[in-house]
């Protein structure tokens, strides 16, 4: 008889304090944005990671849209970004009329191949948006050197990269999100630290700080007003409503207080998969995540790359028969229904390879060793059969 199991791909983890803090936020009577818990979250990030200015948003998508507004992206400006990414990385700039110039992934890793970027830069290139896929750092020294050489901005899509680090050539360790001019994080329920929906914009270049507050507050200088810096507030710039209710921040703060516990648990799970997969990788059946020397691993995701789409489908189906949900990931954006006719026609073979062959395994705090063993066994059994 087939064992009936049910292992979802993701299960949001609750630390237990979320509802308590949400209750406190509600009871405080100040449940719109920028209340006590929003301040606590900002302070947590500023103290833990040394980010100079943090602004919670309702999503990473919003944080990316704020970044595009702050950069004054205009019709015809160009943005370089990976094709292998989530649509929000692209949409934020499309909404401002910018032209997308897609970069290919590296051969050994889904991140953008930094060395392919020089050839994509034109006089219209305004910003490069590296995505730290699976929380693994892009080569930020090489990227920042290139951007500085051409006077181009860098916005890190750090949606998956909370508590992940980059080691610079000079040996210094920098948290992802602290290196580009700005960075966007996500607290969507599929991320390591979450509040259902949620995000954050980090401002590293101080020249964007004042305007960021205004854009986030519907184009008004209300934040300065509440600090007592001005005696009335009004409409001073374009903007929208990007700030979350303090209820969301209260939920997020409970997660942040448990950051180390959550990360340690995820790393244990990640390492168990990785050790378990070594034999299959040595046999040449799959390729495992590659972590460059400069990158830490925040265990956001465990994926394997199969040799062909057929094998990937086989793995997904074999797991599904056991009640285990494994899922593929992005479809190359340069081939998407929305952008394929606007793309300049370059082939992006590595992006397509990850698009066709990468599969993500269940990854969440409560995943047990027994469940992981079943997942590994199912995958090994599948590859013995082909
Ligand atoms: C999750 C994710 C986003 C979007 O985050 P939201 O908070 O859901 O808007 C953007 N980019 C990447 C790379 C992501 O993984």
DSSP assignment of 202-250: EE-SGGGHHHHHHHHBTTB-HHHHHTTSSS---B-S---B-PPPHHHHH
In a domain, 184, yes or no: yes
- Please tell me the distance between residue 187's alpha carbon and the centre of ligand 1 in angstroms: 8
Is there a single domain that holds both residue 38 and residue 149? yes
- Could you report the per-residue pLDDT of 273-328, keeping only the tens digit for each? 999 999 999 999 999 999 999 999 999 999 999 999 999 999 999 999 999 999 99
pLDDT at 272 exceeding the cut of 80: yes
Task: Tell me which of 132, 188, 351 to substitute to probe ligand 1's pocket, judged by most ligand atoms within 8 Å of the beta carbon.
Answer: 188
Cβ(319)–Cβ(5) below 8 Å: no
What is the model's pLDDT at position 1?
A: 46
Q: Which residues line ligand 1 (CB under 6 A)?
A: 59-61, 85-86, 88-89, 131, 157, 159-160, 186, 188, 199
28 C-beta neighbours (distance < 10 Å), count = 13
CA–CA gap between residue 36 and residue 31 (Å, rounded): 9
* Domain region containing 182: 18-256
Q: Looking at 213, 228, 256, which one is the last position of a domain?
A: 256
31 C-alpha vs ligand 1 centroid, how far in Å? 25
How many residues belong to the chain? Answer: 386
- Looking at the structure of the chain, the number of domains it has is 2
Residue that terminates a domain, selected from 256, 284, 318: 256
> What's the gap in Å between 91 CA and the centre of ligand 1?
11
1 located within any domain: no
pLDDT in tens, 330-355: 999 999 999 999 999 999 999 999 99
> For the domain that residue 97 is a member of, what is the CATH number?
3.40.640.10
Closest by CA position to 157, among listed 107, 200, 194, 189: 200
Q: Tell me which residue has its CA closest to atom 8 in ligand 1.
A: 188
Q: Which residue, among 377, 382, 368, 259, has the nearest Cα to 316 in the 3D structure?
A: 382
- C-alpha of residue 128 to centroid of ligand 1, in Å: 17
Q: Are residues 85 and 201 in the same domain?
A: yes
My answer on whether 153 and 280 are in the same domain is: no
H, E, C per residue of 197-209: CCEEEEECCHHHH
The secondary structure of residue 7, as a DSSP letter, is B
Ligand 1 centroid to Cα of residue 86, in Å, is 6
Residue 62 Cα: closest atom of ligand 1:
9
- Residue-level pLDDT at 4: 56
pLDDT of residue 2 exceeding 80, the answer is no
Q: How far apart are the first and last CA of the chain?
A: 23
* Shared-domain flag, residues 268 and 247: no
The CATH number given to whatever domain includes residue 362 is: 3.90.1150.10
| Structure confidence by residue, pLDDT tens digits, 349-369 | 999 999 999 999 999 999 999
- My answer on whether 213 and 306 are in the same domain is no
- Most ligand 1 atoms within 8 A of CB, residue of 10, 56, 58, 60 to mutate: 60
Of the chain, the percentage scoring pLDDT greater than 90 comes to 98
247 and 285 assigned to the same domain: no
At 3, is the pLDDT very low, low, confident or very high (cuts 50, 70, 90)?
A: low
Domain boundary among 256, 285, 316: 256
Q: Are residues 199 and 286 in the same domain?
A: no
For residue 13, tell me if it sits in a domain. Answer: no
- Give the closest residue to 56 by CA, choosing from 75, 40, 42, 73: 42
Q: Which of 110, 159, 329 to mutate to test the pocket of ligand 1 (most atoms within 8 A of CB)?
A: 159
Residues 196 and 181: their CA atoms lie apart, in Å, by 27
**DSSP codes joined into one string, 253-318:** HHHHHTHHHHHHHHHHHHHHHHHHHHHHHHTTSEE-----TTB------EEEEESSHHHHHHHHHH
Q: What is the mean pLDDT of the chain?
A: 97
- Element holding 81 (H helix, E strand): strand 78-82
292, burial (CB in 10 Å: exposed 0-12, middle 13-18, buried 19+): middle
- Name the band, by pLDDT with cuts 50, 70 and 90, for residue 249: very high
Residue 128 has phi, psi (to 5 degrees) of: -115, 135
Split at pLDDT 50, 70, 90, the class of 156 is: very high
Q: Read off the tokens for 82.
A: 């990976």
Do residues 302 and 279 share a domain? yes
Burial class (CB in 10 A: 0-12, 13-18, 19+), 229: exposed
């Amino acid at each position: 008889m087939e064992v009936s199991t049910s292992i979802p791909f993701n299960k949001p983890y609750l630390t237990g304090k979320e509802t308590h803090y949400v209750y406190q936020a509600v009871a405080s009577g100040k449940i719109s944005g920028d209340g006590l818990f929003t301040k606590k979250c900002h302070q947590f990030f500023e103290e833990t990671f040394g980010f100079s200015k943090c602004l919670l948003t309702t999503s990473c998508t919003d944080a990316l849209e704020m970044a595009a507004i702050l950069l004054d992206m205009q019709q015809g400006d160009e943005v370089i970004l990976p094709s292998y990414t989530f649509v929000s990385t692209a949409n934020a700039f499309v909404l401002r009329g910018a032209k997308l110039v897609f970069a290919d992934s590296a051969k050994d890793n889904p991140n953008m191949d930094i060395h392919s970027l020089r050839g994509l830069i034109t006089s219209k290139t305004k910003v490069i948006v590296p995505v730290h896929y699976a929380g693994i750092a892009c080569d930020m020294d090489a990227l920042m050197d290139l951007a500085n050489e051409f006077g181009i901005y860098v916005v890190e899509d750090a949606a998956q990269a909370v508590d992940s680090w980059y080691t610079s050539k000079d040996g210094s360790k920098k948290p992802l999100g602290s290196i580009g001019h700005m960075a966007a994080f996500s607290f969507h329920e599929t991320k390591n630290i979450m509040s259902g929906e949620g995000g954050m914009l980090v401002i590293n270049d101080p020249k964007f700080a004042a305007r960021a507050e205004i854009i986030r507050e519907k184009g008004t200088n209300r934040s300065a007003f509440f600090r007592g810096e001005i005696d009335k507030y009004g409409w001073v710039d374009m903007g929208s409503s990007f700030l979350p209710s303090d209820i969301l921040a209260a939920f997020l703060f409970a997660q942040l207080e448990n950051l180390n516990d959550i990360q340690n648990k995820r790393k244990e799970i990640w390492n168990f998969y990785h050790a378990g997969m070594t034999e299959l990788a040595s046999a040449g059946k799959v390729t495992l995540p590659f972590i460059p020397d400069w990158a830490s691993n925040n265990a956001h995701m465990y994926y394997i790359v199969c040799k062909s789409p057929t094998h990937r489908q086989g793995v997904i189906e074999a797991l599904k028969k056991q009640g285990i949900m494994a899922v593929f990931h992005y479809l190359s954006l340069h081939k998407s229904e929305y952008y394929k006719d606007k793309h300049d026609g370059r082939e992006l073979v590595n992006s397509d390879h990850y698009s066709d062959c990468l599969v993500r395994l269940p990854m969440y705090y409560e995943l047990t060793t027994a469940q992981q063993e079943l997942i590994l066994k199912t995958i090994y059994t599948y590859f013995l059969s082909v």
